[in-house]
């Protein structure tokens, strides 16, 4: 693990981060009610697949720091995927060239 330090001092940029976090949180599905109201087992349909209400949702990001961390994790995951795709394409092209050569 490597820790990175990000410093953002511009008030407009900081306000933009807060706005983006709030937009992210607003797009999350609402949490399930405290009492799901399920008092009986669901009826099993003929195909045997029972659809239960979703019980897991992403937690809202409560601070701008948590939001920036989440954004950077998403970026790092994307960079990793892009690197792997690039390496695969290079290996594929090398194999094609070796066959043609």
> What are the Cα distances from residue 99, in Å, to 60, 86, 92, 94?
52, 20, 11, 9
| Domain contains 2 | no
Contact by Cβ (8 Å): 47, 98: no
Residue 68: how many CB atoms within 10 A of its CB?
16
| Domain contains 93 | yes
How much is the pLDDT for 42? 60
| Domain contains 33 | no
How much is the pLDDT for 51? 62
71, exposed or middle or buried, with CB in 10 Å at 0-12, 13-18, 19+?
A: middle
How much is the pLDDT for 74? 94
| Domain contains 17 | yes
| Domain contains 85 | yes
- Reply yes or no on whether the pLDDT at 28 is more than 50: yes
| Domain contains 1 | no
Domain containing 15: what range?
Answer: 7-26+59-101
pTM of the model: 0.66
pLDDT tens-digit readout, 41-75 = 666 777 777 665 544 447 889 999 999 999 999 99
Reading the block at residue 26, the tokens are 């607003």
How much is the pLDDT for 38? 59
2-17 burial code (b ≥16 CB/10 A, e <16): eeeeeeeeeeeeeeee
- Reply yes or no on whether the pLDDT at 36 is more than 80: no
Q: How many domains does the chain have?
A: 1
| Domain contains 44 | no
Averaged pLDDT score across all residues of the chain: 86
More confident residue, 38 or 90: 90
| Domain contains 69 | yes
For residue 80, how far is the Cα from the chain centroid?
A: 14
How much is the pLDDT for 32? 74
């Amino acid at each position: 693990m490597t820790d990175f330090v990000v410093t953002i001092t511009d008030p407009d940029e900081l306000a933009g981060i807060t706005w983006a976090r709030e937009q992210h949180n607003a797009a999350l599905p609402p949490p399930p009610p405290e009492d799901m109201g399920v008092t009986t087992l669901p009826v099993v349909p003929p195909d045997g697949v029972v659809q239960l209400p979703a019980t897991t949702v992403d937690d809202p990001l409560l601070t701008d720091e948590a939001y920036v961390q989440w954004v950077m994790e998403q970026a790092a995951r994307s960079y990793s995927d892009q690197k792997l795709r690039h390496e695969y394409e290079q290996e594929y092209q090398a194999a094609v060239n070796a066959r043609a050569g």
